[in-house]
Amino acid sequence: MSGRRLYYTVGNDVNVFLSKTGITDTVIINALHNCFDSLVDSGLWSKIKVFYPLVGGTAYTTKFDLVRRNKSAFDIIWHGSPIFSYNGVMGGAGLNAYGDTSFNILNNTTVGDEGYTLCIGTNDASFSSDEIIFGGFNGLAKTYSLLVATSTSFGTRLNSAINSISNSTKLGIYSINRNSSNLSMLKNTTVVKNVTTSGDLPNVRIYLLNVMNSLGPYSVGYSAGRLQTTVIHFGLTDAESINLQNIINTFENDLGRKTW
């Protein structure tokens, strides 16, 4: 217990998470405690809505949300045939793999206060030109909240026109934040684009390794990348987002699965 905070008691998010998952690997346990420490100490924990460590290497252990005040509301339901390992969760050609978070964007988000951060640990070739690793959209209503990360493009659409930049590799940690009408995109602790956006939120749930298209998975949206730590949060400032990325970078490094 040396060096740990007094708030590590029964009922604490990390302890409840470990009890739920049954994880006993001390590397994972220590990494989770250190990550949680850093998030609390930095003031970021209160700005995080959902935190998926994607640890333990099974469909069961990777489904859990670390933010236990949510209880099991946003624990992931996996579909198709995802590939689970110590390093995270992957899709693949023909696997129809995706995770339904049950997080309805319209019901759980305020327009102009929206943010997402995720890690991709492999640079697998895309098997669809429309590959989307995270989010949801309603094409009929023209409302979107999604993140695209391929070996050639990093893009996002938060309720307005799609914004993208060139990308040389999928590997890395990505963040998108909407604060009022400002949309900020970051990769590997660097702000890569700031633009103005507008529009409403989609009445759909967030999917992982694909995107929810009104009623279900986007048929050509399946992702080939390995998803690692994934976070749903409020719209962060650039400084806060960089801090969050640094904390997650340390977490991934402590786990021994950081590849960028």
Which of 134, 92, 101 lies closest to 117 in space, CA to CA?
Answer: 134
Tens digits of residue pLDDT in 60-82: 999 999 999 999 999 999 999 99
pLDDT in tens, 160-189: 888 999 999 999 999 999 999 999 999 999
Could you tell me the residue ranges of all domains in the chain? 13-255
The better pLDDT of the pair 48, 127 is held by 48
Q: Which amino acid is at 67?
A: V
Amino acid identity, residue 145? S
Cβ atoms 196, 178 nearer than 8 A = no
pLDDT tens-digit map of 175-234? 999 999 999 999 999 999 999 999 999 999 999 999 999 889 999 999 999 999 999 999
Mean pLDDT on 132-137: 97
- pLDDT for 4 beyond 70: no
At 86 the pLDDT is 98
Examine the pLDDT at 92 and tell me if it is beyond 90: no
Task: Pick from 5-9, 68-72, 122-126, 253-257 the range whose average pLDDT is largest.
Answer: 253-257
CB 48 within 8 Å of CB 67: yes
| pLDDT given for residue 159 in this prediction | 87
Q: For residue 10, is pLDDT > 50?
A: no
Confidence category of residue 155, pLDDT binned at 50, 70, 90: very high
Cα angle vertex 37, ends 78, 1, to 5°? 105
**Residue type present at position 87:** N
In the chain, alpha helices (H): 13-21, 26-41, 105-108, 238-255
Neighbours of 12 (CB within 10 A): 16
Residues of 191-217 as b/e, b for ≥16 C-beta within 10 angstroms? eebeeebebebbebbbbbbbbbbeeeb
| Predicted pLDDT at 160 | 84
Rounded to whole angstroms, the Cα distance separating 242 from 10 reads 31
Site of tokens 């009929």: 140
CA nearest neighbour of 19 among 50, 56, 57, 45: 56
| 3-state SS assignment for residue 227 | strand
For the stretch 20-52, pLDDT in tens is: 999 999 999 999 999 999 999 999 999 999 999
pTM above 0.75, yes or no: yes
Q: What is the mean pLDDT of the chain?
A: 94
78 neighbors 59 (Cβ within 8 angstroms): yes
Give the CATH number of domain 13-255: 2.60.120.200
* Rounded distance between C-alpha atoms, residue 4 and residue 10, angstroms: 14
